[in-house]
Amino acid sequence: MRYAPGFDADEHDLDSRLSAETKSHLREARQQDANLGRFLWNFSRKALYGDWGYSVTLNRPVRELVAERGAVTARELGGGLLGAASGGLALAFLVYSSGSGTLLTMAASMSALLLSVPAGLLGYAALWLRLPSGLVLGAVLLPYLFQYATSLMESMRHRPHLLAARCRGVGPWRIRFAYALAPSLPEWLASLGAAASLGFSLSIPIEYASGTPGLGQLAWQAASSRDFSTLFALTLLSTAFVMFCSTGADMISGAGAN
């Protein structure tokens, strides 16, 4: 982004309402980010004291914008992930318990249909139907979690402990809950970390299309207007979030294996 053509240009240069002195001041402010090494050093030094820079697009400190919009994205991501996780697990357990190939085909077809629809298009549909963006995010994450849960339970079908339980005459519902569902839960919970990382990325087109004032919309606006400080802070924040989710998933997987 820094070395892209037109980085030093700005729409304010074409605004006839601004004086030459104002345009010169804005141009000098943009030149502060011209040297990438100097920008990284200044940003790191100020970030230690809680200063994440200033958004030239919205004329507000980046830290305030992240605090306000982060709460919106957190509610949206939490609600969507909870709905997708519960719906995907329940649907996968229903398909596994029924043993019906027809039901599996119908569920797989619905999952493939949702996977083929772009997240931005679902965001526009949410805006048109006045649906919450968290519901759209849940619809996007549902097929991923359903497919993973189905694969986990199908892998349990021929495990030795499950076959041994059948030979001992254990009831079918106890086998499904205690010998198929329960052992797969640690891996299932670990998959939620990857789903949360994916949901954070998908929130960008969904929030932009639906007009939701979250971090995703802020990232889109920052990239469109070449707001370097805001975009850099959001990149670091998203990287930290992905690392946190990956570490949590690894810890849950390790605990389940032990």
CATH code: domain of residue 149: 1.10.3720.10
- In this structure, are residues 199 and 133 in contact, taking their beta carbons and an 8 Å threshold? no
pLDDT band at 92 (very low <50, low <70, confident <90, very high): confident
Q: Write down the mean pLDDT value for the chain.
A: 78
Q: Which range marks the domain in which residue 199 is found?
A: 61-257
Give the integer Cα–Cα distance in Å for 19 and 63. Answer: 30
Would you say residue 192 lies in a domain? yes
pLDDT at 182 (0 to 100): 73
- Mean pLDDT, residues 8-18: 68
- Mean pLDDT, residues 230-248: 85
pLDDT band at 247 (very low <50, low <70, confident <90, very high): confident
Question: 99 vs 95, which has greater pLDDT?
Answer: 95
Give the integer Cα–Cα distance in Å for 120 and 141. Answer: 14
Give the integer Cα–Cα distance in Å for 201 and 100. Answer: 35
Question: 17 vs 257, which has greater pLDDT?
Answer: 17
- Mean pLDDT, residues 118-132: 78
Note the pLDDT tens digit of each residue in 180-211: 777 777 777 778 888 888 888 888 888 888 88
53: left (phi over 0), alpha (psi -120 to 50) or beta: left
Residue with tokens 């892209």: 4
- Mean pLDDT, residues 154-166: 72
Q: What is the DSSP letter of 100?
A: -
pLDDT at 7 (0 to 100): 64
Is the pLDDT at 168 greater than 80? The verdict is: no
Residue with tokens 């980085």: 7
Is the pLDDT at 258 greater than 60? The verdict is: no
Kindly tell me the number of DSSP H helices and DSSP E strands found in the chain. 11, 2
Residue with tokens 């569902």: 181
Would you say residue 154 lies in a domain? yes
pLDDT band at 32 (very low <50, low <70, confident <90, very high): low
CA angle 137-143-147, nearest 5°? Answer: 145
Is the pLDDT at 3 greater than 60? The verdict is: yes
Would you say residue 19 lies in a domain? no
Residue 46's Cα: distance from chain center in Å?
Answer: 28
Rounded to two decimals, the pTM is 0.72
- In this structure, are residues 89 and 188 in contact, taking their beta carbons and an 8 Å threshold? yes
Would you say residue 125 lies in a domain? yes
Would you say residue 45 lies in a domain? no
> With pLDDT > 70 as the criterion, what percentage of the chain qualifies?
84
pLDDT band at 4 (very low <50, low <70, confident <90, very high): low
pLDDT band at 11 (very low <50, low <70, confident <90, very high): low
226: left (phi over 0), alpha (psi -120 to 50) or beta: left
Say how many domains are in the chain.
1
Give the integer Cα–Cα distance in Å for 95 and 145. Answer: 14
pLDDT at 221 (0 to 100): 86
Residue with tokens 């930290």: 240
- Structure-token pair, residue 36: 């990438």
> With pLDDT > 90 as the criterion, what percentage of the chain qualifies?
2
Would you say residue 237 lies in a domain? yes
Would you say residue 122 lies in a domain? yes
Residue 59: what are its φ and ψ, rounded to 5°? 55, 45
Is the pLDDT at 256 greater than 60? The verdict is: no
Give the integer Cα–Cα distance in Å for 33 and 41. Answer: 11
Least reliable range by pLDDT among 5-14, 90-99, 176-185, 247-256: 5-14
